[in-house]
Amino acid sequence: MLDINKIYEAKERIKDVVVDTPFSVAPFLSEASGCDVYLKKENLQITGAFKIRGAYNKIASLSDEQKACGVVAASAGNHAQGVALSASKFGIKAVIIMPDSTPLTKVNGVKHFGAEVILKGANYDEAYSYALSYGEENSLTFVHPFEDDVVMAGQGTVALDILEKCEDLDAVLIPVGGGGLISGMACAIKSINPNIEVIGVSAAGAPAFKNSFDLKKAIDTTSVRTIADGIAVRDTSEVTLSYALKTVDKIISVDDEEIANGILFLLEKQKLVVEGAGAVGVAALLHGKLEHLKGKKVAVVLSGGNMDVTLLSVIIEKGLLKSARKMKLTVTLIDKPGSLMRFTEILQELNANIVHIAYDRTSISLDYGDANVTVHIETKGTEHQEEIHTMLKAEGYLRD
């Protein structure tokens, strides 16, 4: 385990830079999950994620000679912003290697803090490999996002913040990617109150750490695919795995559909923008992955909020369709004056608002004289959609 004193030292070292983010009850999530849920809102951190804690603790600990040469890091985004801001505080050079697919919001966030960005590799692990060689060639100190005790000590301060406000927790849910956050936090939690259950939540599309934890040995995967890019780590760190095996009680996983639901729930019910990696704990509670926690006091770490706006718009649109607040219909009309008018009149009578309409008379699947009309409409739930279907069938627009 990490020395708890190192975590307390980190807390003192970073106190003037890191925000003491809110830790508060989540009434809607508590009702939905059957647990007494509290959210640690690291999505409201100064860089939009917890990573600033470990990055600043590491850079503040470097020698004067190392600081003079500068630093390099590999990151999908949140660690990158943490390193960039920390380097700027000390006036030192920072180069960040990011995967080619990194969302623009995270690239711009890094540049905002004055770091140089190089896009390289299909995922974090390829960016990491390039960053190591780049650092050696340019005499830069590599700041690892998780496989570093000083970084992990910084991440462990999240647990200190939580336990200062609520020490009688039954469980803490922590996102898992490379394992740095859960390693630091679990060491702090088990040192202060070993009765608290520490549960990691990973993305099903990035299963390396969970598989390794379950089999108690480091296992890598060949690829990762998940909307939770902040925890999309392909390979397992033996260092963080060894800490987790001593301090973490279990690791579970959630798929992208469940993560998307968690993001949408937090946005709609808690008024919080949380990225995929940060929403995995909420996803686990919403989808019944932790039934043994019902009636218990649970803390959930929302690790980051640097959400790609394009992805968020897709999640919202799909969420509206799944919750029956939007629907898409395609009907075939006789291509003559008045046909489209009658169709839209029916929708008007049923109080269905058309937000998009497309008219196609050239598709090769159509008979001559017919046209396909596709509409996207706002609806008021399942019953309303059934009413629309019934009416359109009665009018001959839809067939069973």
**Sign, CA torsion 380/382/386/392:** positive
Residue in 11, 51, 106, 289 annotated catalytic: 51
Contact 208, 222 (CB under 8 A): no
Name which of 202, 182, 185, 204 is nearest 193 in CA terms.
185
Would you give the end-to-end CA distance of the chain in angstroms? Answer: 63
Task: Quote the CA–CA distance of 277 and 259 in Å, as a whole number.
Answer: 8
Question: Is 51 one of the annotated active-site residues of the chain?
Answer: yes
Which amino acid makes up residue 190? K
As a dihedral over the C-alpha atoms of residue 260, residue 262, residue 264, residue 269, rounded to 10 degrees, the angle is 180
Length of the chain: 400
The catalytic residue positions are 51, 303
